[in-house]
Amino acid sequence: MGLVRSVCLFITFLSYLAISVHGQATARPGPGSGTRVGFYSTTCPTAETIVRNAVTAGFNSNPRIAPGILRMHFHDCFVLGCDGSILISGANTERTSRSNLNLRGFEVIDNAKTQLEAACPGVVSCADILALAARDSVVLTRGISWQVPTGRRDGRVSLASNANNLPGAGDSVAVQQQKFGAVNLSTRELVVLVGGHTIGQAGCGAFRNRLYNSTTGPADPAIDPTFLAQLQTQCPQNGDASVRVDLDTGSATTFDTSYYNNLSRGRAVLQSDQVLWSDPATRPIVQQLMSPSSTFNTEFARAMVRMSNIGVLTGANGEIRTVCSAIN
């Protein structure tokens, strides 16, 4: 487990999306991607239903698991690829890294896995469960649905040190471009995928420096003054750093384009979000995504299919874990 795969298989998944009359995005994998829609149609035909029901049950109990699972999938894919390694528990695993300490929804993935092992033992990977659960989380928050290519296998490596370079709350556009580019995602896909913050939250500690200790003065001048006062009330200078704040003020439970509108009004919580508006490389993209003719939902589905095929293990590589939190 100490040896990291020397070459990350950043598979370029050329998806072609068509929107059906029911509003669902249909994806067709490109050649050699190793995953395909309906991978479990004969070996475990109820797999997607079982995952969907588990996510729905978790969401009904706590709606905040939706952004938690979506974020978990992002963090899994950006570290050695979408191999479910974020789910492995234990000392010095990915989920113990600082970037992952506030992830939530692990119990939902575990619940789905338990049911799948009862229905189809040793068939459905934890990596696929997480990819499906991320899609279902978007749907439950009134976002678009899409077909998720499956067939991933689970990785055996999970090290906290590998999660040190995840996209961060203070990253500039240039740094974000570098991190997304390293996994073959474009600048436009960066802006689209970060739009998942429409249902996200962040702890005060991730952005409090913008409120009191900005390098340009006592507070970041990019923040709308009224919104600044609101954030300072929610996050006092010496208050609890773990207090959670919605990243899309006014529409935190609905998957929509409100997040981009907030960027244009100086109402971004994270520095990494606000710079998407201030940087000329990304501002035109934000303007397109916030427009009345926005294609955000369809672009998000397409980008998610691409992201979910980063570095996937297929065929004889990896394993199918019987418990998502432990290597077989």
- Give the residue numbers annotated as catalytic, written as ranges: 75
Q: Is 293 annotated as a binding residue?
A: no
Q: Is 256 annotated as a binding residue?
A: yes
Q: Is 240 annotated as a binding residue?
A: no
Task: Quote the CA–CA distance of 261 and 296 in Å, as a whole number.
Answer: 12
Backbone angles phi, psi at 157, to 5 degrees: -110, 125
Burial 256-291 (b: 16+ CB within 10 A, else e): bbbbbbbbeebbbbbbbbbbbbebeebbebbebbbe
DSSP 182-244: TTT--HHHHHHHHGGGGG-EEEGGGTHHHHH--TTSSS-TTS-HHHHHHHHHHS-TTS-TT-E
Q: Which of 200, 218, 201 is nearest to 209 (CA)?
A: 218
- 3 state SS of 110: helix
CA 78 to chain centre: 9
Structural contact between residues 257 and 198, judged by C-beta atoms closer than 8 angstroms:
yes
Backbone angles phi, psi at 192, to 5 degrees: -65, -45
User: 313 pairs with which residues across the strands?
Assistant: 153
Q: Is 94 annotated as a binding residue?
A: yes
Q: Is 220 annotated as a binding residue?
A: no
Q: Is 96 annotated as a binding residue?
A: no
Q: Is 73 annotated as a binding residue?
A: no
Residues marked as binding?
Answer: 76, 79, 81, 83, 85, 94, 167, 197-198, 248, 256
Residues marked as binding for substrate?
Answer: 167
